Amino acid sequence: MSLTSTSAWQALTRHRDALCAQGMDTILRDAARLKNFDIAFDGLRLNYAFQNMTAETLTLLLALAEQQKVQDWRARMFGGDKINTTENRAVLHTALRCREDTPILVDRLDIMPEIRATQNRVAAFVDDVRGGVWKGITGKPFRHIVNIGIGGSDLGPRLAAQALRPFASGFETHFVANADAFDITSVLQKVDPAQTLFVVVSKTFTTQETLLNAHAAREWLVQKLGEEAVTRHFVAVSVNSAEVEKFGIHADNMFPMWDWVGGRYSLWSAVGLSVALAIGNDNFRDLLAGAEAMDAHFQSAPMAANMPVILALLGVWNRNFLGSASLAILPYCERLRDLPRYLQQLEMESNGKSVTRGGETVDYKTVPVLFGDCGTISQHSFHQCLHQGSDPIPADFIGVANDDLNRPESHRALLSNLAAQMGALAFGQKQAAVPQDVYPGGRPSNLVLLDNLDPRRLGMLLALYEHKTFVQGVLWDVNSFDQPGVELGKRMARGLEKDASSGAQVSNDLIGQFFKTILP
């Protein structure tokens, strides 16, 4: 049976038709919404009073979650079942931040000892680098960390390093991801080779963009300090020890990754090495503890008061029943400026699917297009479309209650703009001298508010969106943990590049001919 034919889906469709006849203005007159549609947990708050929904809507959405067996799938994920069915893998990024040593089995083997061993190795290395024990080839301590990766090996660490800059000391952290040589070249111009440590992050150590940049960095370092510098200035996060050693990195300086952790869920593993180097082990452990706290909330909180579940259900309501094709991510915090890009990968790569777990083509919409930028910058770019565009676009506003950084007047202005934008989107302006000044209102939004932007709250925030993404995948009956659509273009690019570099005849198909027209 198609999802759209199920009783829960049909009940929501009927409810939507009745609700839309009322209009959002009527719904928002209930002053109790601010209290009733609010969840607070350990310094994190979700308020969804400005959503175009009622208590009845929530009841029906929770019935959809029950029908789709969200709680069963949640138990299977935390229990180590191979819920990534297309790749026959468990999904256990949550194990990386679990402080308990209760066995978690994958293929009947307890993975916790291996996790602990890797965490201990990472922590020891971080202490050695930060303490000046591990130095560069000239004997100088490191002051620059350059993370070379792409996708999940870049976006999560990049976001965390930027968000937690006030907690960093002693190091400048740089990130290189783009195959465009300008990316690596511009970073190399900023750093001192004698005091630079490169962290190359690639599970297979064959990722094209990462290897291009890693070899460029290697050539630069060798030119500056000689071949022997490679073993002191490069470390790797990978599973391919043969390729790592071929590059010149000793196997002792390689930290492992695991098949049961997808790239976009890997910040909590050794992939977060650059972040740990920047902020230190204690702060990195706080980051993990925050994510673990959200894991516990997700597992134990009642469904009606469960942040990830409610956030996921509201997204499905807006996408599938109110017809919203996009979602704006609006962090009113400069340190969270990379959050929209991080969530683009997390949600769109996870749930950008049109085939169910069982291989059937869906007859409903899945993930919306995510975009965003920092407020108040975004107010001067695309908010015009949010307020008066022909397609209503829901928004997640992310704020930090206490983040003045000795400029309280700036923080008051920031939060007043956040509140005003949410209010203007919801209520609009119906009376105006000219039609161009009419704001229709009825544009839904959520508030995600952190007490402080510290390592613990950042961990909670990222885990919140991880679990939201998982729940939506369950609701849509798609596998959130594979990404086959990423591979086709990569395979085609490798073939075209191989032909061009070898001097072979470039393919005569349309793509091959097009490639010839853009080659220098």
**pTM recorded for the entire structure:** 0.95
Q: Which whole number is the average pLDDT over 15-30?
A: 83
Q: Which whole number is the average pLDDT over 330-349?
A: 98
Which pLDDT score, from 0 to 100, does residue 496 have? 73
Which pLDDT score, from 0 to 100, does residue 423 have? 94
Which pLDDT score, from 0 to 100, does residue 407 have? 87
Q: pLDDT tens for residues 134-184?
A: 999 999 999 999 999 999 999 999 999 999 999 998 899 999 999 999 999
Which pLDDT score, from 0 to 100, does residue 25 have? 75
CB under 8 Å to 341, separation ≥6 — which residues? 155, 159
Q: pLDDT tens for residues 282-321?
A: 999 999 999 999 999 999 999 999 999 999 999 999 999 9
Which pLDDT score, from 0 to 100, does residue 504 have? 60
Q: Is 490 a catalytic residue?
A: yes
Share of the chain above pLDDT 90, in %: 87
In this structure, what DSSP letter does residue 51 have?
S
Residues across the chain: 520
Using CA atoms, how far apart are residues 378 and 397, in angstroms rounded to an integer?
Answer: 12
Q: Which whole number is the average pLDDT over 56-62?
A: 98
In the chain, the amino acid numbered 62 is L
pLDDT band, very low/low/confident/very high, at 101 (cuts 50, 70, 90)? confident
pLDDT band, very low/low/confident/very high, at 9 (cuts 50, 70, 90)? very high
Residue 199 dihedral angles phi and psi, to the nearest 5°:
-115, 110
Using CA atoms, how far apart are residues 239 and 211, in angstroms rounded to an integer?
Answer: 15
Which pLDDT score, from 0 to 100, does residue 499 have? 65
Which pLDDT score, from 0 to 100, does residue 519 have? 67
In this structure, what DSSP letter does residue 149 have?
-
Cβ–Cβ < 8 Å for 454, 286: yes
140 to each of 134, 191, 193, 195, how far by Cα in Å?
9, 13, 10, 6
Which pLDDT score, from 0 to 100, does residue 515 have? 67
Which pLDDT score, from 0 to 100, does residue 21 have? 78
Q: Is 380 a catalytic residue?
A: yes
- Any idea what the Cα angle at residue 175 is, between residues 458 and 139, rounded to 5°? 110
Q: pLDDT tens for residues 186-220?
A: 999 999 999 999 999 999 999 999 999 999 999 99
* Six token digits for residue 202: 């690639």
For residue 512, pLDDT beyond 80:
no
CA 471 centroid distance within chain = 15
Kindly list the strands in the beta sheet with 369-372, ordered across the sheet, starting from the edge strand earlier in the chain: 38-41, 44-47, 445-450, 395-400, 326-331, 369-372
Mean of the per-residue pLDDT values for the chain? Answer: 94
For residue 102, pLDDT beyond 80:
yes
Domains annotated on the chain, with CATH: 3-67+301-430+437-482 (3.40.50.10490), 93-284 (3.40.50.10490), 485-518 (no CATH)
Q: Which of 400, 409, 396 is nearest to 453 (CA)?
A: 400
- Any idea what the Cα angle at residue 335 is, between residues 340 and 93, rounded to 5°? 60
For residue 410, pLDDT beyond 70:
yes
Which pLDDT score, from 0 to 100, does residue 11 have? 98
Using CA atoms, how far apart are residues 70 and 51, in angstroms rounded to an integer?
Answer: 22
Active-site residue among 349, 353, 467, 468? 349
Q: What is the dihedral of CA 208, 214, 220, 223, to 10 degrees?
A: -100
pLDDT band, very low/low/confident/very high, at 350 (cuts 50, 70, 90)? very high
- Bridge partners of 399, per DSSP, are 449
* Six token digits for residue 440: 């229709």
Cβ–Cβ < 8 Å for 170, 195: no
Share of the chain above pLDDT 70, in %: 97
Using CA atoms, how far apart are residues 177 and 475, in angstroms rounded to an integer?
Answer: 33
pLDDT band, very low/low/confident/very high, at 500 (cuts 50, 70, 90)? low
Which pLDDT score, from 0 to 100, does residue 507 have? 60
Q: Is 360 a catalytic residue?
A: no
10 Å CB burial of residue 5 (0-12, 13-18, 19+) is exposed
Omega before 376 within 30 of 0, i.e. cis: yes
Which pLDDT score, from 0 to 100, does residue 258 have? 94
For residue 495, pLDDT beyond 90:
no
For residue 520, pLDDT beyond 90:
no
Using CA atoms, how far apart are residues 316 and 61, in angstroms rounded to an integer?
Answer: 9
The enclosing H or E element of 372 equals: strand 369-372
Active-site residue among 219, 490, 497, 498? 490
Kindly list the strands in the beta sheet with 144-148, ordered across the sheet, starting from the edge strand earlier in the chain: 172-176, 144-148, 196-201, 234-237, 254-255
Q: Which whole number is the average pLDDT over 26-52?
A: 93
In the chain, the amino acid numbered 400 is V
pLDDT band, very low/low/confident/very high, at 506 (cuts 50, 70, 90)? low
Q: Which of 7, 480, 507, 97 is nearest to 299 (CA)?
A: 97
For residue 502, pLDDT beyond 80:
no
Which pLDDT score, from 0 to 100, does residue 486 have? 81
Active-site residue among 69, 190, 246, 380? 380
**Read out DSSP for 480-491?**
TT--GGGHHHHH
Which pLDDT score, from 0 to 100, does residue 503 have? 60
Cβ–Cβ < 8 Å for 187, 146: yes
Q: Which whole number is the average pLDDT over 123-137?
A: 97
Q: pLDDT tens for residues 439-471?
A: 999 999 999 999 999 999 999 999 999 999 999
CA 270 centroid distance within chain = 17
Which pLDDT score, from 0 to 100, does residue 218 have? 98
Q: What is the dihedral of CA 268, 270, 275, 277, to 10 degrees?
A: 140
